[in-house]
Structure 1
Amino acid sequence: MAAKLVRVEIIFSQAVEEDFFDAFREKQVAYYYTKISGVTGAGISNPKLGDAIWPQLNQMFVIYCDKEEAEVIVGIVEELRKAYPTEGIACFISSAESR
């Protein structure tokens, strides 16, 4: 039987990466994750394209976990959005199955 999981994707400015790791350790979540560096794109904040015009880059975490852990992670995202209102921090959750 497949385990019930959720997929949490967090896309954020490089500037707040250390804050995410600190919060994950403090709340004891996201022990297992995939980090994608150098993510480019445009969202509701300034574009992060890694070029001469928009030189910053984003990072991305992909985390598979149970619903309870995802709720803690969403709380961390909300806290960091309040602490850094001008930095882009996006979070998406979808269902997933382990096979």
Structure 2
Amino acid sequence: MKSIVIIYNAAVEDVVMEALRGQVEKYTVFDRITGKGKNSVPHFGDNIWPATNKLLMAVVEENIVKKVKDALLPIKEDYKTEGLKLFVFPVEELI
């Protein structure tokens, strides 16, 4: 099993969730995540940089990871300045 963490601009949430439909059914979303990526403008949720991110975390079977990656790559390309990152980590134990 793998843990996936997807950080994305809140403005593209509908697009991201549609891409994950049928692949990731159980997840947790954290709202109002702030930060700055390599190629995106800052997302600080303030008057100067009002945008914020969301963080989606899920544990999935290994065969789902490639499907998620393939679904997110076109979004990352289409929304370069909004920002989207996928991180994948091994899951050693789940209780």
| SS of aligned partner of 1:30 | coil
Question: Structure 2 CA distance, aligned partners of 1:12 and 1:90?
Answer: 7
Pair 1:51-2:40 in alignment: no
- 1:92 is paired with a residue whose SS is strand
The Cα shift of 1:71 comes to: 1.1
What is residue 98 of structure 1 aligned with on the other side? 94
Measure, in 2, the Cα distance between the counterparts of 1:57 and 1:87. Answer: 10
Following superposition, the deviation at residue 85 of structure 1 comes to 2.0
Partner of 1:11: 7
Unaligned runs of 5+ in 1: none
CA–CA separation in structure 2 for the residues paired with 1:41 and 1:83: 20
Q: For 1:37, which of 27, 31, 34 is the aligned residue?
A: 31
Q: TM-score, normalised by structure 2?
A: 0.91
Q: What CA deviation, in whole Å up to 9, does each residue of 1:14-57 have, x standing for no partner?
A: 111001111222xx111000000100111121110001111110
Measured in 1, the distance between the counterparts of 2:87 and 2:15 equals: 19
Q: Runs of 5+ in structure 2 lacking a partner?
A: none
The separation in 1 between residues aligned to 2:19 and 2:5, in whole angstroms, is 16
Q: CA RMSD in A?
A: 1.0
% same residue: 28
Task: Say which SS state the counterpart of residue 12 (structure 1) adopts.
Answer: strand
Alignment equivalent of 2:80, drawn from 72, 77, 85: 85
* Structure with greater strand share of residues: 1
Query: In structure 2, what is the Cα distance between the partners aligned to 1:21 and 1:12?
Result: 11
